[in-house]
């Protein structure tokens, strides 16, 4: 199913992330799309909170993959610096995306060809000059989000 949301602040986006995170199950993969400062890392903070992760979530731009221990392991990836799909596979991500945790991928536009069909797509679209964001979930398998 596809769902759409609208947020007006980073805090609201974190809250939406918490709702999304509370419904995730093992093996879920979320491909995040959206430009720089859209809110990909911000929504990840909410998802992490719902997974019971106490550690602070930081942007994995330089380390590419951060792993956090929670109710489910969270693999937070940022593939901005990769050339494309081959680099992604060479990082050894298959063990993670086909593993027992939840995978969240920032700048996933670059590696969509390597992701399985069941991948959930989360798009964040900023409304220029405001703190508003249109956020959509596509291929969402877990029902309504209230």
Ligand X SMILES: Nc1ncnc2c1ncn2[C@@H]1O[C@H](COP(=O)(O)OP(=O)(O)O)[C@@H](O)[C@H]1O
Residue closer to Mg ion by CB (options 8, 58) is 58
Characterize the bridge pairing of strands 65-68 and 120-126. unpaired
Cα–Cα distances (Å) from 85 to 5, 97, 117, 142, in that order, read: 30, 14, 15, 28
Q: Does 33 bind Mg ion (CB under 5 A)?
A: no
Q: By rule CB under 5 A, what string of x and - marks binding of each residue 83-122 to Mg ion?
A: -----------------------x----------------
Query: Rounded to an integer, what distance in angstroms lies between the CA atom of residue 126 and that of residue 132?
Result: 6
Among 28, 33, 40, 101, binds Mg ion (CB under 5 A): 40
Task: Measure CA 38 to chain center.
Answer: 12
Please, what is the end-to-end C-alpha distance for the chain in angstroms? 14
Number of residue whose CB is nearest Mg ion: 41
Residue closer to ligand X by CB (options 35, 141) is 35
Number of residue whose CB is nearest ligand X: 39
Helix (H, G, I), strand (E, B) or coil at 133: strand
Q: Give contact residues for ligand X (rule: CB under 6 A).
A: 7-10, 12-13, 34, 36-42, 59, 106, 131, 133
């Amino acid at each position: 199913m596809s769902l759409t949301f609208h947020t007006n602040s980073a805090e609201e986006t974190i809250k939406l992330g918490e709702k999304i995170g509370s419904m995730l199950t093992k093996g879920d993969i979320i491909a995040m799309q959206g430009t720089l400062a859209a809110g990909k890392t911000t929504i990840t903070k909410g998802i992490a909170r719902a997974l019971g992760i106490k550690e602070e979530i930081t942007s994995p731009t330089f380390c590419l993959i951060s792993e956090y221990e929670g109710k489910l392991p969270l693999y937070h990836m940022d593939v901005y610096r990769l050339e494309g799909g081959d680099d992604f596979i060479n990082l050894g991500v298959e063990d993670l995306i086909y593993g027992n945790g939840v995978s969240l991928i920032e700048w996933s536009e670059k590696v969509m060809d390597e992701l399985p069909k069941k991948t959930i797509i989360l798009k964040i679209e900023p409304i220029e000059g405001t703190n508003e964001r249109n956020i959509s979930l596509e291929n969402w398998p877990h029902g309504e989000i209230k």
